[in-house]
Structure 1
Amino acid sequence: MLSEDLRTRRAVLPETAADDPLLRLQQETRLGDGIIRLRATTHPEEIRIGGILVMCPKCGARRDWMVICDRSKISIRCRCAHQWVEPELTRADYDAMIDIGGQDYPSLDAAAQAVGYDGTLAGTYLSKPRPE
């Protein structure tokens, strides 16, 4: 059969972190002792930096963000999937925004898709539950 001939002729390359982007990402986002270097949280409220309201430069959104901490670099991601580094925010600012608990995802893209920051909910503000 033709497909069997093709299968036997293919070279099988070992998958290492050097040539597999997923393995490389996993190694970069975790330390050897299991500590996660990359974290993300949702932040439904507005963010003000030095009194200035943060707005998405692509769609103009003013609230409902995904805030990403990659080591000490903080990025903001909008529901339209636009993401940018916000140099004025620090790790301490990020720590003040996070909630206890949460869900682990295999990648930032998987997390963005699971919580609606992959562009599918562009232009949508999800309301925060009101306290009873």
Structure 2
Amino acid sequence: MLNRIRRRRRTRTDDLQRMHEQFWPELFDRVPEDVLRIQAERQAAAQPAAVVDDFLPPELRVPSHDQVAGRMMPWSQPIVLDGDVVACDECGAYRDWVIISTNDQVWLRCRAGHQQHERRLTTAWFNRNSGPADATHATFEDCLRHLGH
């Protein structure tokens, strides 16, 4: 009994395979009439697109990362890391910092001009806490002047 069922299934599968092989080449190159009509309508209605300069004007372009030596932001409140308030190693100042991110390092600069590398801060931290750049400057001193230091 089971052998007959298996033979019947095999015969049906073979018949379906044969029908597929017979009709597939015919169906492969066929395109529905609606598709041809819609394509013809689109080609007839298509107008050439106007050529527009899609680049921003130079004064609105943001420099790429390889064109910028680093980024800075002011930080007026104290910086607390691991429960400790970060203070300047030389003068003891603990607020009114300029935070500098350059070469995957974060540096702190106090109002007196002392700089120290802060290993507990990362570039990812800087990116999360900094706002959008409001200006670019040619020199480090120009940027400090812009930030009020």
| Band the TM-score falls in, shorter-chain normalisation | 0.5 to 0.7
- Counterpart selection for 2:113 from 60, 70, 81: 81
8 Å Cα contact 2:89/2:116 also seen in 1: no
Q: RMSD across aligned C-alpha pairs, in angstroms? A: 1.9
TM-score by length of 2: 0.52
Task: Provide TM-score, normalisation by structure 1.
Answer: 0.58
Pair 37,74 (structure 1): closer, same or farther in 2 beyond 3 Å: same
1:67 and 1:59 mapped to 2: Cα distance?
17
Q: Larger % of helix: which?
A: 2
Instruction: Give the alignment of 1:41-56 within 5 angstroms.
Output: 41-56=73-88
Question: What residue ranges of structure 2 are gaps of 5+ in the alignment?
Answer: 1-63
Tell me the distance in 2 between the aligned counterparts of 1:102 and 1:89.
23
Match of 1:63 in 2: 95
The structure whose RCO (Cα within 8 Å, separation 6+) is larger is: 1
CA positional deviation for 1:64: 1.1
Supply the distance in 2 between the matched residues of 1:107 and 1:30 (Cα, whole angstroms). 16
Question: Highest Rg: 1 or 2?
Answer: 2
Aligned partners of 2:106 and 2:119 also within 8 Å:
yes
Which of 137, 142, 145 is matched with 1:105 structurally?
Answer: 137
- Asked whether the 8 Å contact 2:101–2:107 carries over to 1, the reply is yes
The number of equivalent residue pairs is: 86
User: Alpha-carbon deviation of 1:30?
Assistant: 5.6
Unaligned runs of 5+ in 1: 1-28, 118-132
Which of 92, 95, 118 does residue 124 from structure 2 map onto? 92
